[in-house]
């Protein structure tokens, strides 16, 4: 059990007998009243979202999860297949369960998949992924001192903002949880 003030986005809690992922948390203190935590929760069984207020002194049960390293293998229609790197067991997850991380995944990337009672409930992206730039504006002479960024399309199809010196064919390191450029890879 944790205090409601310890809730953070991404946590998985057991609330009213169901598993919920915390998607956002705000601590509010209205006037002379006691503070509370305004949360947005997503039911992992039904996929429905809900908003809830927890008083600051409320206790919430955090789900105990098992985390396994899994390798992304391939996409088959709406299903995405992952393989356990230790047991070689394969699981297929629908695109909505994989979420936004899909935009940064190529075959053979390793991710952490969280399980509750043997069922996958969440995916943690790697801290960074290296992807190739397939489309961007040409480099402008003297633009290296500029603090401006330009759009670049990566090999997975997602567009991020990169510094002006990045060119087509360069490999860049990206933070998949933020979707931001980290550095150019040599």
Task: Render pLDDT for 35-59 as a digit per residue (tens, 0 to 9).
Answer: 899 999 988 878 789 999 999 889 9
Q: What pLDDT shows up at residue 29?
A: 86
Task: Estimate to the nearest angstrom the gap between the alpha carbon of 5 and the chain centroid.
Answer: 22
Q: For tokens 């908003």, name the residue.
A: 51
Beta partners for residue 162, in sequence order: 150
Confidence band, pLDDT 50/70/90 cuts, at residue 132:
very high
Reply yes or no on whether the pLDDT at 135 is more than 60: yes
The pair phi, psi for residue 59, each rounded to 5°, is -110, 140
Task: Write down the H helix ranges in 49-151.
Answer: 95-98
Cα separation, 144 vs 101, in Å, equals 30
Instruction: Determine the number of helices (DSSP H) and then strands (DSSP E) in the chain.
Output: 1, 16
Domain made up of 2-62: CATH architecture? Roll (2.30)
**129-185 CATH:** 2.40.50.140
Domain 66-124 identical in fold to domain 129-185: yes
Q: Average pLDDT in the 14-32 region?
A: 88
Give this prediction's pTM: 0.72
Pick the CATH number of 66-124 from 3.40.50.720, 3.40.50.450, 3.90.550.10, 2.40.50.140: 2.40.50.140
What does pLDDT average to over the chain?
Answer: 88
Cα separation, 182 vs 166, in Å, equals 12
Instruction: State both tokens at 72.
Output: 């992304």
Q: How many residues does the chain have?
A: 186
* Structure confidence by residue, pLDDT tens digits, 55-78: 988 999 998 889 999 999 999 988
Query: Where along the chain do its domains lie?
Result: 2-62, 66-124, 129-185
Task: Estimate to the nearest angstrom the gap between the alpha carbon of 131 and the chain centroid.
Answer: 17
């Amino acid at each position: 059990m944790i205090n409601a003030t310890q809730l953070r986005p991404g946590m998985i809690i057991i609330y009213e007998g169901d598993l919920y992922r915390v998607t956002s948390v705000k601590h509010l203190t209205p006037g002379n009243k006691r503070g509370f935590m305004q949360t947005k929760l997503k039911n992992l069984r039904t996929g429905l979202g809900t908003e809830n207020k927890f008083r600051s002194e409320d206790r919430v049960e955090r789900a105990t999860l098992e985390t396994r390293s899994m390798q992304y293998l391939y996409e088959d229609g709406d299903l995405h297949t992952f393989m356990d790197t230790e047991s070689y067991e394969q699981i297929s997850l629908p695109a909505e369960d994989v979420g936004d991380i899909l935009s940064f995944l190529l075959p053979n990337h390793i991710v952490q998949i969280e399980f509750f009672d043997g069922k996958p409930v969440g995916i943690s992206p790697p801290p960074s992924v290296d992807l190739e730039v397939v489309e961007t504006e040409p480099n402008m002479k003297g633009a290296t001192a500029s603090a401006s960024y330009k759009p670049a399309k990566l090999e997975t199809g997602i567009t991020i903002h990169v510094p002006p010196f990045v060119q087509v064919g360069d490999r860049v390191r990206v933070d998949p949880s933020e979707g931001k450029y980290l550095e150019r890879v040599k």
